[in-house]
C-alpha cells in the first residue's frame, strides 16, 4: 500500500502541476484580453478629448460641455466623462495623481492610473485639452473595472474547483487502481516472501495479472517449488546419512557382540559337551528308568538346548561372506518350508506358499539365504503359540534401497512372511534386528534369529522391511535383487 500511495501522490502532483500551468496560461490570456479592452476604452477617451477640443475651438466652451454631457449620457455604461480645469487639478489634485502626473498633463500627455474607491476598482484616464488663448482643460475618463475583476475571480475559482475535482478523481482512481494492481499484489508477494523465508514452500501465489508483477509471482512460485524439492531431497539425504551412521554404529556393536559371543561359546562349548556326555551315560546306565534317569535326560535336553544357542552365537560371530550362485527363489522358499513343516505342524501352524509360476532367478548363496528364510519363518511360527496360518508369498517388485534416497528403483523379488500373531509394539519395532533382543518369553528365544537374517540379507545387497500392528500380526518382507532375465534358464 505504501507504493500505491506514493504513485497516487506522484499522479496528483503531476495533475496539479499541469492544472497550474493551464491556469497560468488561462490567466495570461484573460489579462491580454482585458488589456486590449482597456486600450479600446483609452482610445475612446483620447478620441472624445480630441473631438471636444475641436468643438470647443469652433463653437465655444458651452457647446463642448454640452457635447461632453451627451457623450457621457449615451456612451458605454462603465465609462464616465468629466470636464476638469488643469489649474484646479494643480490646486487640489485627486488621490493617486502625483506631481509628475500633473507635469505630464501640463505637457499635453495623457495620464492613466488605477485606484480602489469604496471597495470598487476603477481606472482614471486624464486627457489634456487646450486651445490657444483658452484656459487649459482636462477630460477625465473614469472606467469601472469591477466587472472584469469579478470575471477574473470567477474564472480563478472555476479553475481551482476544476483542479481540485480532477485531482480528487485522479487520486481516487489511482488509489483504487494502485491498490488492485500494485498494493494488493505487493502485499501477497510480501507474505509469500515471508513464508518462503520461514521455510514454508507449499502455498502457491495466484496473481491473475499479465504484467511484471504476475511474472514475478510465477518466478516466485517456481523458486518455491525448487526450494521445496531441494528441501525434500536434503531431508531424504539427511535421513539416509543418519540411517547409514546408525547402521555403522549397529555394525560396530555387532562386531563387539560377535567377539564376546565367540569367547563365551568357546569357553562353554567343551564343558557343555562333557555335561551332555555324562548325562547320556547316566541315563543309559540306569536303563532309562528311575528318577536318576529322568534327571539325566533333563540335563541332556538342557545341555543340548544350550549347545544350540552356542551354535547360533558361533554362526552370528563367524558368518562367512556369501558365495553367490544363480538360484530359483521359489525352490529355496519351498525347501525351507518343507524343513520347518514338522515343527509348524506341532505348533498347530499351517504354512502356505504363494508364488508366481515359473523361475524366479536370484544370484545368492543358497545355504545362507535358506538360513535367513528359516529364521524368519521360525519367528513367525513362534509368534502363534495357539496355531494359525503363516503366509509366505513371493512377488516381483520395483523398489529402491531405503538407505540410499538418491538411488533409482530397480527390479527386486520380495519374499513376505505374514503371521497372525500378537504383533510387535511400536516401541520394540526399531530394535528387532539388534542381537539378543527378543519379545518372546524367557527360554523361548535367543534374540539372534532376525539379527542373523538381517546380516545375511544385507550381505546379499538386499534389505528387510517389517510392518506390525499389535493384535493383528507381523509382516516381514525380504528384498533380493532379481537376476538377469536372460539367465533364468540356469536357475535351479
Q: What is the mean pLDDT of residues 432-445?
A: 65
**Which is higher by pLDDT, 477 or 101?**
477
DSSP string, 325-369: EEEEHHHHHHHHHHHHHHHHHHTTEEEEEE--SS--EEEE-HHHH
Phi, psi at 220, each rounded to 5°: -65, -40
Whether the per-residue pLDDT at 415 is higher than 70: the answer is yes
The verdict on 309 and 371 lying in the same domain is no
Q: What is the mean pLDDT of residues 7-16?
A: 79
Q: What is the mean pLDDT of residues 384-407?
A: 84
Element (H, E) at 100: helix 99-106
The verdict on 84 and 108 lying in the same domain is yes
- Which range of residues forms the domain containing residue 92? 2-158
Whether the per-residue pLDDT at 388 is higher than 70: the answer is yes
* Residue at which a domain ends, from 318, 347, 379: 318
In tens, the pLDDT along 29-73 reads: 877 777 777 777 777 777 878 888 888 888 888 888 888 888 777
For the stretch 267-273, contacts whose Cβ atoms lie closer than 8 Å and that sit 24 or more positions apart, written own/partner, are: 268/306, 268/310, 269/307, 269/310, 272/303, 272/306, 272/307, 272/310, 273/307
* Residue at which a domain ends, from 95, 126, 158: 158
Residue 164 within any structural domain of the chain: no
What contacts 384, CB < 8 A, 6 or more positions away? 347, 348, 349, 390, 419, 420, 421
Whether the per-residue pLDDT at 369 is higher than 60: the answer is yes
The verdict on 339 and 479 lying in the same domain is yes
Q: Rounded CA gap, 162 and 327, in Å?
A: 97
The verdict on 265 and 307 lying in the same domain is yes
Residue 181 within any structural domain of the chain: no
Specify the residue for cell string 498494493: 183
The verdict on 266 and 285 lying in the same domain is yes
* Residue at which a domain ends, from 126, 158, 190: 158
Q: Rounded CA gap, 134 and 89, in Å?
A: 16
The verdict on 90 and 236 lying in the same domain is no
Whether the per-residue pLDDT at 491 is higher than 50: the answer is no
The verdict on 309 and 341 lying in the same domain is no
The verdict on 154 and 9 lying in the same domain is yes
Whether the per-residue pLDDT at 174 is higher than 70: the answer is yes
CATH of the domain at 408: 3.30.565.10
Residue 313's pLDDT band (cuts 50, 70, 90): low
Residue 194 within any structural domain of the chain: no
Task: Give the lowest-confidence range in 80-84, 197-201, 362-366, 486-490.
Answer: 486-490
Q: Rounded CA gap, 371 and 456, in Å?
A: 9
Whether the per-residue pLDDT at 127 is higher than 70: the answer is yes
| Contact (CB, 8 A) for 3 and 186 | yes
CATH of the domain at 26: 3.30.450.20
Burial of 379 (0-12, 13-18, 19+ CB in 10 A): buried
The helix/strand count (H/E) of the chain reads as: 11, 11
Phi, psi at 245, each rounded to 5°: -60, -40
The verdict on 333 and 480 lying in the same domain is yes
Eight-class DSSP state of 408: P
Q: How far is CA 140 from the centre of its chain?
A: 85
N- to C-terminal Cα separation, the chain: 77
Average pLDDT value over all residues in the chain: 79
Q: Rounded CA gap, 424 and 114, in Å?
A: 113
| Contact (CB, 8 A) for 225 and 201 | yes
The verdict on 257 and 371 lying in the same domain is no
Residue 350 within any structural domain of the chain: yes
For the chain, percent of residues with pLDDT exceeding 90: 8
Q: Specify the number of domains making up the chain.
A: 3
Residue 195 within any structural domain of the chain: no
Residue 490's pLDDT band (cuts 50, 70, 90): very low
CA angle 230/233/234 to nearest 5° reads 85
Whether the per-residue pLDDT at 478 is higher than 70: the answer is yes
Q: Determine the pLDDT at residue 3.
A: 66
Residue 174 within any structural domain of the chain: no
Q: What is the mean pLDDT of residues 192-204?
A: 79
| Contact (CB, 8 A) for 139 and 48 | yes
What contacts 491, CB < 8 A, 6 or more positions away? 326, 327, 328, 359, 360, 361, 362, 483
The verdict on 296 and 395 lying in the same domain is no
Residue 191 within any structural domain of the chain: no
Q: What is the mean pLDDT of residues 119-129?
A: 80
Whether the per-residue pLDDT at 391 is higher than 60: the answer is yes
Whether the per-residue pLDDT at 378 is higher than 50: the answer is yes
Q: Determine the pLDDT at residue 488.
A: 37
Task: Give the lowest-confidence range in 24-28, 274-278, 311-315.
Answer: 311-315
Q: Which of 204, 61, 39 is nearest to 137 (CA)?
A: 61
Q: Rounded CA gap, 159 and 154, in Å?
A: 9
Dmax over CA atoms of the chain, in Å, equals: 191
The dihedral of CA 299, 300, 301, 306: what is its sign? Answer: positive
Residue 441 within any structural domain of the chain: yes
DSSP string, 265-306: HHHHHHHHHHHHHHHHHHHHHTTT-HHHHHHHHHHHHHHHHH
In tens, the pLDDT along 236-290 reads: 888 878 877 776 676 666 666 666 766 776 677 778 777 878 777 777 776 666 7
The verdict on 302 and 341 lying in the same domain is no
Q: Determine the pLDDT at residue 487.
A: 42
Amino acid at each position: 500500500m505504501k507504493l500505491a500511495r506514493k504513485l497516487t501522490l506522484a499522479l496528483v502532483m503531476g495533475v496539479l502541476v499541469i492544472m497550474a500551468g493551464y491556469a497560468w496560461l488561462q490567466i495570461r490570456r484573460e489579462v491580454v484580453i482585458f488589456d486590449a479592452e482597456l486600450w479600446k476604452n483609452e482610445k475612446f477617451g483620447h478620441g472624445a478629448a480630441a473631438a471636444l477640443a475641436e468643438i470647443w475651438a469652433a463653437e465655444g466652451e458651452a457647446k463642448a460641455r454640452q457635447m461632453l454631457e451627451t457623450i457621457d449620457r449615451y456612451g458605454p455604461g462603465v465609462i464616465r466623462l468629466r470636464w476638469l480645469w488643469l489649474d484646479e487639478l494643480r490646486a487640489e489634485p485627486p488621490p493617486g495623481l502625483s506631481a509628475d502626473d500633473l507635469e505630464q498633463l501640463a505637457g499635453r500627455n495623457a495620464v492613466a492610473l488605477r485606484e480602489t474607491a469604496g471597495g470598487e476598482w476603477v481606472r482614471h484616464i486624464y486627457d489634456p485639452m487646450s486651445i490657444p488663448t483658452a484656459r487649459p482643460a482636462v477630460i477625465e475618463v473614469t472606467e469601472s473595472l469591477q466587472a472584469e475583476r469579478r470575471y477574473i475571480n470567477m474564472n480563478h475559482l472555476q479553475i481551482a474547483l476544476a483542479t481540485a475535482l480532477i485531482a480528487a478523481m485522479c487520486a481516487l482512481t489511482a488509489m483504487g487502481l494502485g491498490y488492485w494492481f500494485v498494493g494488493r499484489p505487493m502485499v501477497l508477494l510480501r507474505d509469500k516472501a515471508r513464508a518462503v523465508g520461514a521455510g514454508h514452500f507449499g502455498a502457491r501465489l495466484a496473481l491473475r495479472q499479465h504484467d511484471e508483477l504476475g511474472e514475478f509471482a510465477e518466478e516466485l512460485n517456481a523458486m518455491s517449488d525448487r526450494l521445496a524439492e531441494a528441501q525434500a531431497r536434503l531431508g531424504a539425504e539427511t535421513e539416509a546419512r543418519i540411517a547409514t551412521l546408525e547402521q555403522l554404529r549397529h555394525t560396530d556393536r555387532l562386531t563387539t557382540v560377535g567377539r564376546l559371543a565367540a569367547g563365551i561359546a568357546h569357553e562353554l562349548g567343551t564343558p557343555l559337551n562333557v555335561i551332555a556326555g555324562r548325562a547320556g551315560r547316566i541315563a543309559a546306565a540306569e536303563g532309562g528308568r528311575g528318577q536318576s534317569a529322568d534327571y539325566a535326560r533333563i540335563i541332556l535336553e538342557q545341555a543340548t538346548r544350550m549347545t544350540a544357542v552356542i551354535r547360533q552365537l558361533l554362526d552370528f560371530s563367524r558368518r562367512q561372506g556369501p558365495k553367490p550362485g544363480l538360484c530359483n527363489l521359489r525352490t529355496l522358499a519351498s525347501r525351507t518350508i518343507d524343513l520347518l513343516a514338522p515343527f509348524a505342524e506341532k505348533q498347530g501352524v499351517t504354512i502356505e506358499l504363494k508364488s508366481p509360476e515359473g523361475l524366479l532367478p536370484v544370484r545368492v548363496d543358497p545355504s545362507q539365504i535358506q538360513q535367513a528364510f528359516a529364521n524368519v519363518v521360525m519367528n513367525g511360527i513362534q509368534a502363534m503359540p495357539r496355531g494359525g496360518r503363516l503366509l509366505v508369498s513371493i512377488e516381483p517388485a520395483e523398489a529402491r534401497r531405503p538407505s540410499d534416497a538418491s538411488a533409482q528403483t530397480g527390479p527386486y523379488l520380495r519374499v513376505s512372511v505374514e503371521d497372525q500373531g500378537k504383533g510387535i509394539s511400536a516401541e520394540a519395532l526399531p530394535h528387532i534386528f539388534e542381537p539378543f533382543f527378543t519379545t518372546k518369553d524367557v527360554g523361548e528365544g535367543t534374540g539372534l534369529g532376525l539379527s542373523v537374517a538381517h546380516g545375511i540379507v544385507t550381505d546379499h545387497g538386499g534389505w528387510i522391511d517389517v510392518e506390525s500392528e499389535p493384535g493383528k500380526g507381523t509382516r516381514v518382507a525380504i528384498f533380493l535383487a532379481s537376476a538377469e532375465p536372460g539367465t533364468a534358464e540356469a536357475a535351479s
